[in-house]
Amino acid sequence: LLATQVMTRVRGVLGVEMGLRKLFEKAELGEFAREIERAQEGVVQEGGPHIGAMSRGEVLPLSFAQQRLWFIDQLEPGNPIYNTPLGVRLRGVLNLDALEQALTELVRRHESLRTVFRLAGEEPEQSICEPVSFEMPVEDLSCLPETAREEEARRLAIEETKVPFDLSRGPLVRARLLQLGAEEHILLFTMHHIISDGWSMGVLVREVAALYEAFSKGQASPLPELPVQYGDYAMWQREYLQGRVLFDQLAYWRERLAGAPPLLELPTDRPRPKAQTYRGASLPLKLSKELTDHLRALSRRESVTLFMTLLAAFQTLLSRYSGESDISVGTPVANRTRAEIESLIGFFVNTLVMRTEVSRELSFRELVKRVREVCLGAYAHQDVPFEKLVEELQPERSLSHSPLFQVMFVLQNAPQEKLELSGLTLDLLDIESGTAKFDLMLSLEESEDGLEGVCEYSADLFDEATVRRMLEHFRTLLAGIVANPDERISSLPLLTSNEEQQLLYQWNETAKQFPQNLCVHELFARQSERTPDSIALIFEDERLNYAELNERANKLAHHLRALGVGAEQVVGLMMERSVEMLVSVLAVLKAGGAYLPLDSEYPQERLAFMLEDARARVLLTQSKLVQQLPEVSARVLLLDEDWETIELESGQDFESGATPDNPAYVIYTSGSTGRPKAVVMPHRAASNLINFQIESSGREGQGRTLQFASLSFDVSFQEIFPTLCAGGALVLLREDERKDARELLRVIMEQRVERLFLPFVALQHLAEVAETEKLSPKSLRQVITAGEQLKITPHVARLFKSLEGCVLDNHYGPTETHLATILRLEGDADLWPKLPPIGRPIANARVYVLDDALQPVPAGVTGELYIGGEQLARGYLNRPGQTAERFIPHPYPFTDESAARLYKTGDLARYSADGVLEYAGRCDRQVKVRGFRVEVGEVEARLKEHSGLKQATIVAWDDDAGRKRLVAYVVAAQSASAPSIADLRLFLTDRLPDYMIPASFIFLPA
């Protein structure tokens, strides 16, 4: 602002037009003076003709800025969002007559203060009213007690900001005087923004002070008549900003703002409403004199203004908060680049869009230089009103947010004149209007004690605590900048030491003892010794107690050992749901191997790949599934046909030779490269999970648990082993019962199931059926859901209201870590959140929300979720490169162990202020379909193998029931011989599991 004033003075006094950039390029005063001399010698002036009193005719147009506010008022008549309040506390003996005289003369001098806006035909026009005496009501509050007096004055001041104006009738300026005592008053002055701006307020205060001083002494007005009025400026602007001038200015902005994101997605406390309500609040910010001095010194060293330094820092903050690098911030400029309008009251202010690429690899020193160029370019093209810019650029418009930018930054560094009147002292008051035009607006001004100001924020989006944290982070960031401006902006500090301690350590204090020296099958064997006669397994009419199940598993384990199965050996399991399936799982572990679940419904190509890729030594299956088997090198063992031989083996326990570091199971997941990849889970991680689940389930762990999940889904492990290691009974379902919600409900009720694991979609179906059939599975005490976003629908809420004492646990954890966090919902289901968070880390798990530079992000800010602790998988089988990419060294280990690792989940999340994690989607193309993880890239890779297609892409969408579905968009290689949708579906059926096959195929023209 000061630089702009310098250039205005050069133009006004010396008659020379110079670009603002010259002031920065000629940093030395002597060089700048010589530049002025050269300009005086013959450089042609730029920036348009002189503004003079113009012949107005019958129609006086609105300026571009006025026209926008008029249009907004037509949409929302009387909205007080554009009321501009001013409060002044007056101490001393007040001459009321002189004050009213001063206000009357002020309105007479400035036509803008007696302007109204009316529609003439299809266009609005300004109409100047005749001068009249200014009326100022006086309210006496002196009779109230002092505390009540101040409170009432504050209430009236806020109330005054909300009283609407009628633009067509006026007046658009009003004053109200509150008398607090014989020698104390508060003057409340309110104007509509369409006739004033921030600079105008300074003009108003100075002129009222000068007029009051004169009239108090019986003197005439000391102020000279104004050479031009706002109406002259409006006409000049309309004439000047057209043709080549407008074209050149707009060309700059078109290029500068091309491709700019329409919305800065800051993390908010609530979803953005469909239309702005402009409800707002504000918080103060004060930066110490020491920090301010350091910022000034840094600015001088870098040949930038303090504004540029602060803007660069603010854009860094916004980038770190949003995770975006393309940051647009609005900033007002006084737009009084001509001396003839400096002393006018009117709506001159313009808004510039400062768009900066805040690249994370830049140092702050490099960034501030980039910001300087952005600012100088914007200042050189500031003549285009923001309203005209929006009209010409036609950005994506929405009632929910302002166009081009949603965050504003203001630095008021013009010198403030100290006002002193004979017999009176004046103090400006901050009046809380309760409104906000933008998501955020940070306004600072320089003072003798440092920078201070306020942050105005949308109350629809943010809580006070959130904005308070953000301002503290800005303060921390500024301190880090002055300490080390060469630091990369991605590594500059945001968090206070207390926050960092909380995020990294306090919320991850989960250490708990568990049997980490025992393998999973050893935990089962101990339980079998404790409760040999208790029922362990129920399948239809078949029952096995713990002793029987253990004996059968031991026989098969001995047989597997004879076939060479041992530690680090993989055994494939392709079994129908049966007692033999559970016996096989236990037997593989007892033999020391790791089981690899294979779904018989998978395409043969996929099954063959998994068996060969895992180098499975043995494949356990049943004779009825032989036809689905591909050709494999593994030894195939048919349990139903070979059991007579297996029965001859010993039923006694034996030492498997496996250690807690050896794998317990290998589960394949979808792969982004087009190939599925296998997650290797060691016994130690599995034992930690078992111990946690038993303690979490309490008595239900020893009750009946339904085994619902497919073995290919890691949740099946959580169903099976915490139950069998706690003395509970496992209830198996037939495949048809898994897929029919009515049959599922029947089994739960008949078998008196107490614990149930279901993905959300299955839980929703179960709730719907229970309501339709008017049945309630009263035996349930714990329901656990995982695999996809939990939604508390009305059906689900009503189901749990009918289940007395039943809790709902929301589990989160990718296959690479199994379970990582948990949130328990209990009590009145009507009070549960509609989209529950994913909770807190389980025992011995550590969870971090980090940005791209592996820096912890503040609470409330979205980042990528990283998981560490005991429950991590070893990595991906035979995929060292992918393992190193996803399992990274731990940057914040609790110990000095060099082997400490974190799993990079690819999930987005954020911590709430109280340490609860909220899921926020994916940062890649991975989706969850029916609880299974699907890498869209794998589906695309398979689809592109079809010879009849030239292009293919896959997207995910939610159907009306909230279920995730895949949609394929394809382009045929030859239009005349395009494959049919049935052909494409059959092609994929031979290569992918059914849950990965798109629900819809859409052909696009070539």
CA 709 to chain centre: 33
Q: Measured between alpha carbons, how far is 364 from 368 in angstroms, rounded to an integer?
A: 6
- Mean pLDDT of the chain, nearest integer: 89
Query: For residue 178, is pLDDT > 80?
Result: yes
Residue 328 and residue 360 in contact, taking contact as beta carbons nearer than 8 Å? no
pLDDT tens-digit series, residues 631-652: 889 999 999 999 999 999 999 9
DSSP letters, 642-680, are HHHHHTTS--S-------TTSEEEEEEE--TTSS-EEEE
Determine the residue type at 304.
V
Query: What confidence category does residue 767 fall into, taking pLDDT thresholds of 50, 70 and 90?
Result: very high
pLDDT tens-digit series, residues 313-336: 999 999 999 999 999 999 999 888
Q: Provide, rounded to the nearest whole percent, the portion of the chain with pLDDT above 90.
A: 69
Residue 365 and residue 302 in contact, taking contact as beta carbons nearer than 8 Å? yes
Q: Strand, coil or helix: what is 479?
A: helix
Closest CA to 412 of 460, 442, 367, 446: 446
Query: What confidence category does residue 607 fall into, taking pLDDT thresholds of 50, 70 and 90?
Result: very high
Q: Give the single-character DSSP code of 516.
A: T
pLDDT tens-digit series, residues 838-850: 999 999 999 999 9
Tell me what pLDDT residue 897 has: 57
**Candidate from 345-354, 954-963, 979-988 with smallest mean pLDDT:** 954-963
Tell me what pLDDT residue 31 has: 52
Tell me what pLDDT residue 222 has: 96
Query: For residue 28, is pLDDT > 90?
Result: no
Can you read off the two tokens belonging to residue 745? Answer: 């409900």
Q: What sign does the dihedral 654-657-660-666 (CA atoms) show?
A: negative
Q: Which helix (H) or strand (E) holds 1001?
A: strand 1000-1003
Query: For residue 550, is pLDDT > 60?
Result: yes
Q: Give the burial string for 158-195 (b: 16+ CB within 10 Å, else e).
A: eebbeeebebeebbbbbbbbbbbeeebbbbbbbbbbbb
Residue 452 and residue 444 in contact, taking contact as beta carbons nearer than 8 Å? yes
Q: Measured between alpha carbons, how far is 584 from 553 in angstroms, rounded to an integer?
A: 7
Q: Measured between alpha carbons, how far is 102 from 221 in angstroms, rounded to an integer?
A: 9
**Candidate from 13-27, 58-72, 100-114 with smallest mean pLDDT:** 13-27
Strand residues in 3-157 grouped as ranges (E):
83-92, 115-120, 123-128, 138-140
Residue 356 and residue 371 in contact, taking contact as beta carbons nearer than 8 Å? yes
| φ, ψ of residue 439 in degrees (nearest 5) | -60, -50
Q: Strand, coil or helix: what is 40?
A: helix
**Candidate from 420-434, 450-464, 768-782 with smallest mean pLDDT:** 420-434
Query: For residue 994, is pLDDT > 90?
Result: no
Can you read off the two tokens belonging to residue 781? Answer: 């005490």
* Strand 926-929 with 917-922, pairing: unpaired
Query: What confidence category does residue 43 fall into, taking pLDDT thresholds of 50, 70 and 90?
Result: very low
**Candidate from 250-264, 509-523, 833-847, 966-980 with smallest mean pLDDT:** 966-980
Q: Measured between alpha carbons, how far is 459 from 435 in angstroms, rounded to an integer?
A: 8
Tell me what pLDDT residue 896 has: 57
Residue 21 and residue 15 in contact, taking contact as beta carbons nearer than 8 Å? no
Tell me what pLDDT residue 416 has: 57
How much is the average pLDDT of 650-657? 94
Tell me what pLDDT residue 522 has: 97
Query: For residue 960, is pLDDT > 70?
Result: no
Q: Provide, rounded to the nearest whole percent, the portion of the chain with pLDDT above 70.
A: 92
DSSP letters, 245-265, are HHHHHHHHHHHHHTT--S---
Tell me what pLDDT residue 956 has: 81
Query: What confidence category does residue 413 fall into, taking pLDDT thresholds of 50, 70 and 90?
Result: low
Q: Give the single-character DSSP code of 406.
A: S
Q: Measured between alpha carbons, how far is 992 from 1006 in angstroms, rounded to an integer?
A: 26
Q: Measured between alpha carbons, how far is 292 from 313 in angstroms, rounded to an integer?
A: 13
Q: Measured between alpha carbons, how far is 556 from 639 in angstroms, rounded to an integer?
A: 9
Query: For residue 42, is pLDDT > 50?
Result: no
Strand residues in 533-634 grouped as ranges (E):
535-539, 542-545, 570-573, 594-597, 618-621
Tell me what pLDDT residue 418 has: 63
* Strand 845-850 with 863-869, pairing: antiparallel
How much is the average pLDDT of 640-665? 95
pLDDT tens-digit series, residues 189-227: 999 999 999 889 889 989 999 999 999 999 999 999 999
Residue 444 and residue 411 in contact, taking contact as beta carbons nearer than 8 Å? yes
How much is the average pLDDT of 619-630? 92
How much is the average pLDDT of 11-36? 51
Rounded to the nearest 10°, the torsion over CA 422, 424, 428, 432 is -150
Can you read off the two tokens belonging to residue 761? Answer: 């979609």
Q: Give the single-character DSSP code of 267.
A: -
How much is the average pLDDT of 550-579? 96
pLDDT tens-digit series, residues 584-599: 999 999 999 999 999 9
3-state per-residue secondary structure call for 428-472: EECCCCCECCCCEEEEEEEECCEEEEEEEEECCCCCHHHHHHHHH
Query: What confidence category does residue 977 fall into, taking pLDDT thresholds of 50, 70 and 90?
Result: confident
Tell me what pLDDT residue 12 has: 46
Query: What confidence category does residue 16 fall into, taking pLDDT thresholds of 50, 70 and 90?
Result: very low
Tell me whether the omega of the peptide bond preceding residue 171 falls within 30 degrees of 0, making it cis: yes
* Strand 83-92 with 184-192, pairing: antiparallel
Instruction: Please list the residues that pair with 331 across neighbouring strands.
Output: 352
Tell me what pLDDT residue 579 has: 96
* Strand 115-120 with 440-447, pairing: unpaired
How much is the average pLDDT of 20-37? 53
Residue 938 and residue 672 in contact, taking contact as beta carbons nearer than 8 Å? yes
Query: What confidence category does residue 931 fall into, taking pLDDT thresholds of 50, 70 and 90?
Result: low
Tell me what pLDDT residue 170 has: 87
Q: Measured between alpha carbons, how far is 155 from 453 in angstroms, rounded to an integer?
A: 22
Query: What confidence category does residue 947 fall into, taking pLDDT thresholds of 50, 70 and 90?
Result: confident
**Candidate from 71-75, 316-320, 778-782, 861-865 with smallest mean pLDDT:** 71-75
Tell me what pLDDT residue 850 has: 95
Can you read off the two tokens belonging to residue 226? Answer: 């104004």
Query: For residue 357, is pLDDT > 80?
Result: yes
DSSP letters, 919-977, are EEEESSSEEEETTEEEEHHHHHHHHTTSTTEEEEEEEEEE-TTS-EEEEEEEEES-GGG
Q: Strand, coil or helix: what is 205?
A: helix
pTM (2 d.p.) = 0.83
Between 173 and 246, name the one with better pLDDT: 173
